[in-house]
Structure 1
Amino acid sequence: MGANETRQQIVDVADRLFYEHGFEATSFADIAKDVGLSRGNFYYHFKTKDEILDAVIAQRAANTRAMLDVWDQDAESPADRIRSFVHMLIANQTSIMAHGCPVGTLCNELAKLDHAAKDDAAGLFSLFRDWLAQQFAALGREADADALALHILMRSQGVAALATAFHDEDFIRREVEDMEAWLHAECPAASIPHSRQPA
Structure 2
Amino acid sequence: MTASTRTLIVEKADTLFYEGGFEATSFADIAAVVGISRGNFYHHFKSKDDILDAVITRRIARTRDMLDAWQDQGDDPRQRILSFIRMLIANRAKIMAFGCPVGTLCSELAKLDHAAQGRAVDILGLFRDWLAGQFRELGAGARAEPLALHLLSWSQGVAVMASAYRDEAFIHSEVAGIENWLANLPELSPVP
Which TM-score band applies after superposition, normalised by the shorter structure? over 0.9
The equivalent residue for 1:9 is 8
Instruction: Tell me the equivalent position of 1:87.
Output: 86
Matched, 1:66 2:65: yes
Corresponding position: 1:31 with 2:25: no
Q: Which amino acid aligns with 2:156?
A: Q
Which SS does the other structure have where 1:25 is aligned?
A: coil
User: Does the C-alpha gap of structure 1 residues 57 and 187 become closer, same or farther in structure 2, counting only changes over 3 Å?
Assistant: farther
Question: Cα RMSD over matched residues?
Answer: 1.2
Contact 2:70 2:83 in 1 (8 A): yes
In structure 2, the partner of 1:115 is: 114
Give the Cα–Cα distance (whole angstroms) in 1 for the partners of residues 170 and 187 of structure 2.
25
Equivalent residue for 1:128? 127
**Separation in structure 1 between the aligned mates of residue 136 and residue 45 of structure 2, nearest angstrom:** 42
Q: Which letter maps to 2:91? A: N
Partners in 1 of 2:186 and 2:59 — Cα distance? Answer: 30
Instruction: Give yes or no for contact 1:90–1:173 (8 Å, CA) kept in 2.
Output: yes
The 2-side partners of 1:21 and 1:157 are apart by: 19
Q: Which residue of 2 aligns with 1:197?
A: none
TM-score (norm 1): 0.92
Unpaired runs of 5+ residues, structure 2, are: none
Q: Structure 1 CA distance, aligned partners of 2:175 and 2:187? A: 17
- Does the residue aligned with 1:37 lie in a helix, a strand or coil? coil
Q: For each residue in 1:5-52, what CA deviation from the matched residue of structure 2 results, as whole angstroms up to 9, or x when unmatched?
A: 100000000000000000000000000000000112111211100000
Letter in structure 1 aligned against 2:31: A
Structure 1: 4+ residue segments shifted above 6 A: none
Per-residue CA deviations over 1:66-99 (Å, capped at 9, x if unaligned) read 0000001113310001000000000000000000
Contact between 1:139 and 1:187, CA under 8 Å: does it hold in 2? no
Matches within 5 A, 1:112-191: 112-186=111-185
Identity over aligned pairs, percent: 60
Deviates more, 1:167-176 or 1:128-137: 167-176
C-alpha distance in 2 between matches for 1:100 and 1:170: 16
- Equivalent pair of 2:140/2:188 in contact (CA under 8 Å): no
Q: Does the CA contact (< 8 Å) of 2:128 and 2:148 recur in 1?
A: yes
Q: Give the gaps of 5 or more residues in structure 1.
A: 191-199
| TM-score normalised by structure 2 residue count | 0.96
Structure 1 CA distance for aligned equivalents of residues 44 and 168 of structure 2:
40
- Where does residue 52 of structure 1 map in the other structure? 51
Instruction: Name the amino acid aligned to 2:30.
Output: I
AA in 2 matched with 1:186: L
How much does 1:143 deviate?
Answer: 1.2
What number of residue pairs does the alignment pair up?
Answer: 189
Give the corresponding residue for 1:102. 101
